[in-house]
Each structure stands twice: as structure tokens, then as C-alpha cells.
């Protein structure tokens, strides 16, 4: 099958957008870049290759004129501009109206019915009207704490409860991530910042909801809690020094309840002193299944999931979909 290449517009070329674009660039037989949008004046006018950190020249320059770029013939927009649905909604509507499928890194878009069902329904209708598919994904939300445990339930006749624990070693991650988890703060400052939602992983509630969607469950309620991981010894990273009793990171719980019972329990720990990173899941059902996965890498794998999902988004039926709706996503 000499399939036609998928023509891609890049929308947002920060570190994550650029990393996702590099994954598509690894598959030149499947994808070609036809446009790129970013507001950063240091990027506008430059060739895509230079901006995403590759030696190749693509002959396509970054533009700040979204409307003009979206008017080009293209099959897919790789969208990576923000975590919050209300923040990216105008961009999504513009892309949909231009008739382009969307794969997005927006965390809340991974399951937008959780935080804002009205906007989700609106985007879903618009996407169906313009016959395009819209999916938000990434490693988390999008895979490690939702798609992977749901995929494991394929071997179960019944499932009573899904528990997941993800431990992320943030010590070698980007400065932005270490700040986002409160590394180096006092415990008091952490609690203040967490109350203001300045510190937290965005997407845990979305993952709880994805697990429920994947299993056809109606939850009564999704609850989230957050607490600091406190350093017991001095931790030094490239970006921060954490003294003992200061904050090394964050531990969050997401719970999905039905009839007073915990049906989904997700625990996420992201800290600069995490001894070892892993993803563990317990499927309580018939049979019980336990999985332990090592090696999922925050930055490499977020870009991988987005890049690998791209072709499945283009193939899928129109609408605002989730990872629960796509055909098997794999490294290709």
C-alpha cells in the first residue's frame, strides 16, 4: 500500500510541540509538514527544521498568521499550545472550521467532558459538522494511567476496580516541570500554591474519566487530592536544590466513585527524589491482573504517544474522540 502522506500543520512550537514534530519527522514515508504556526517572533520566518531542532530544511517557514496557514491543504494539525480547554478552545474552533483533523497535547482535551461538558459537546458537534476528528493525548493523560490499564482489561471477563500507581523521576526533567511540581518550595508555600492550582499535574481527573469511559462505567463523582512529597535528604538537580524537609515534588490521587465505592484509584507521584520510575496497575476482576512497566519516559514518551496517535486520528470517524475510541496506537 503506497498510502498518501499525511499533510501536517504544526500549531505551537514550544518544547513539547517541537518534540512531537520530531516524532513525525522520524516517519517521512508517512507524514509531510505543510505549515507551521507560532507567535514567538524568534521563530516566525524560520524554517521548521531549525525551530524543531533538526538539521534538515523543510522549505516551510513558521508563521504567526494562523488563518493563512490553516487555509492550506492539510490533513492534520498537531496542536501544542496549552493545558487548559478554555485557553485553547478558540484555536481548536479555528482549526476545526478550517476542516483539519487535530491531535493535541492539551491535557484537558484528553477527556473534556470531565471539566467542561458544555465545551466538549460544542467542539464535538462542530467537529462532526466539519467532518474532522479531534483527540487530545500524551503520556499522561492519554496513556500511562488510562489507555494502558484499560488495554490490560481486555483479558478480563469482569472488572470491579482499577488501581494505578505512576511514579515519575523528575530529577532529570525540564526546569518547567520541576517548578510545576513545587520542587524546592517550603511545605507552606506548596500548600498555598496547590490551593491556587499553581502546582499540580493537569489531567488526573481526565484519566479517571477515561478509565471509566473505556469500561463503560458511569461514575457518580471524580475526586482529586494533592499533597507534597517532602525530601528526607538533600537533592541537587540541574535546576534546583532541595534541602531536607523542603518539597521534592507532588503526590496526587484521583478517585472515581460509584455507589459509594472507589471504582478507579489513580496515584501519581512526581518528585526529584523518586527512587525509581515505574507504572503499576492492578485490575481487580476476573481474573485479577497486575502489571509493572518500566522505561516510560516523560518527555520522549509524550511526544511518542502524540506522534503515534496521529495516523489513527486521521483514520477515525469525525467528532471529538478520546484514546478509548482510536484503533490500536503503536510506534509507527
Residues near 221 by beta carbon (within 8 Å), at least 6 away in sequence:
256, 257
Does 117 engage in binding with a copy of itself (CB under 8 A)? no
CB of 249 to a copy of itself, least distance (A): 21
Please pick, from the candidates 71, 223, 236, 327, the single residue that binds a copy of itself as defined by CB under 8 A.
327
Please pick, from the candidates 32, 47, 224, 325, the single residue that binds a copy of itself as defined by CB under 8 A.
325
Q: Are the CB atoms for 210 and 153 separated by under 8 Å?
A: no
Does 141 engage in binding with a copy of itself (CB under 8 A)? no
Does 324 engage in binding with a copy of itself (CB under 8 A)? yes
- Give the binding range for a copy of itself (CB under 8 A) out of 22-30, 106-114, 195-203, 233-241: 22-30
Contact pattern from residue 263 through residue 302 relative to a copy of itself, giving x for each residue in contact according to CB under 8 A and a dash for the rest: --------------------x-xxxxxxxxxxxxx--xx-
- Give the binding range for a copy of itself (CB under 8 A) out of 20-28, 74-82, 107-115, 233-241: 20-28
Q: Given CA atoms 280, 283, 284, 288 in this order, what sign does their dihedral have?
A: negative
Please pick, from the candidates 109, 164, 183, 215, the single residue that binds a copy of itself as defined by CB under 8 A.
215
- The Cα–Cα gap between 228 and 242 comes to 13
CA atoms lying within 13 Å on the CB side of residue 131 = 1
CB of 134 to a copy of itself, least distance (A): 16
Nearer to a copy of itself, 199 or 303 (CB): 303
Residues near 139 by beta carbon (within 8 Å), at least 6 away in sequence:
296, 298, 301, 302, 304, 305
Dihedrals phi, psi of 257, to nearest 5 degrees:
-110, 145
Q: Are the CB atoms for 323 and 137 separated by under 8 Å?
A: yes
Q: With CA atoms as reference, report the closest residue to 155 among 247, 26, 285, 243.
A: 285
- Strand ranges in 127-219 using DSSP code E only, listed in sequence order: 133-136, 158-169
Does 150 engage in binding with a copy of itself (CB under 8 A)? yes
Nearer to a copy of itself, 38 or 146 (CB): 146
CA atoms lying within 13 Å on the CB side of residue 284 = 9
The residues binding a copy of itself (CB under 8 A) are: 22-23, 26, 139, 143-144, 147-148, 150-159, 214-216, 283, 285-297, 300-301, 303-305, 307-309, 323-332
Amino acid at each position: 500500500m503506497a498510502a498518501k502522506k499525511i499533510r501536517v500543520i504544526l500549531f505551537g512550537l514550544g518544547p513539547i510541540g517541537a518534540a512531537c514534530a520530531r516524532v513525525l519527522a522520524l516517519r517521512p514515508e508517512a507524514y509531510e509538514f505543510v505549515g507551521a504556526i507560532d507567535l514567538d517572533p524568534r521563530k516566525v520566518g524560520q524554517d521548521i527544521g531549525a525551530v524543531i531542532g533538526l538539521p534538515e530544511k523543510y522549505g516551510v517557514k513558521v508563521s504567526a498568521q494562523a488563518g493563512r496557514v490553516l487555509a492550506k491543504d492539510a490533513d492534520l494539525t498537531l496542536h501544542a499550545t496549552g493545558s487548559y480547554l478554555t485557553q485553547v478552545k478558540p484555536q481548536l474552533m479555528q482549526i476545526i472550521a478550517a476542516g483539519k483533523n487535530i491531535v493535541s497535547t492539551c491535557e484537558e482535551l484528553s477527556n473534556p467532558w470531565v471539566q467542561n461538558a458544555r465545551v466538549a459537546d460544542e467542539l464535538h458537534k462542530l467537529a462532526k459538522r466539519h467532518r474532522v476528528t479531534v483527540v487530545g493525548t500524551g503520556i499522561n493523560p492519554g496513556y500511562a494511567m488510562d489507555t494502558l490499564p484499560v488495554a490490560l482489561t481486555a483479558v478480563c471477563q469482569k472488572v470491579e476496580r482499577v488501581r494505578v500507581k505512576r511514579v515519575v523521576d523528575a530529577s532529570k526533567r525540564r526546569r518547567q516541570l520541576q517548578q510545576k511540581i513545587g520542587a524546592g518550595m517550603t511545605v507552606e508555600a506548596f500548600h498555598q500554591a496547590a490551593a491556587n492550582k499553581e502546582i499540580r499535574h493537569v489531567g488526573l481527573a481526565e484519566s479517571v474519566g477515561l478509565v471509566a469511559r473505556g469500561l463503560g462505567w458511569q461514575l457518580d463523582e471524580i475526586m482529586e487530592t494533592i499533597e507534597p512529597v517532602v525530601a528526607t535528604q538533600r537533592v541537587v538537580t540541574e535546576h534546583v536544590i532541595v534541602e531536607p524537609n523542603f518539597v521534592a515534588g507532588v503526590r496526587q490521587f484521583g478517585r472515581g466513585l460509584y455507589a459509594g465505592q472507589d471504582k478507579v484509584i489513580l496515584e501519581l507521584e512526581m518528585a526529584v527524589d523518586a527512587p525509581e520510575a515505574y507504572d503499576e496497575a492492578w485490575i481487580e476482576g476476573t481474573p485479577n491482573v497486575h502489571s509493572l512497566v518500566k522505561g516510560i519516559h516523560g518527555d520522549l514518551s509524550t511526544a511518542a504517544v502524540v506522534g503515534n496517535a496521529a495516523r489513527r486520528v486521521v483514520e477515525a470517524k469525525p467528532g471529538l474522540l478520546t484514546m478509548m475510541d482510536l484503533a490500536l496506537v503503536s510506534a509507527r
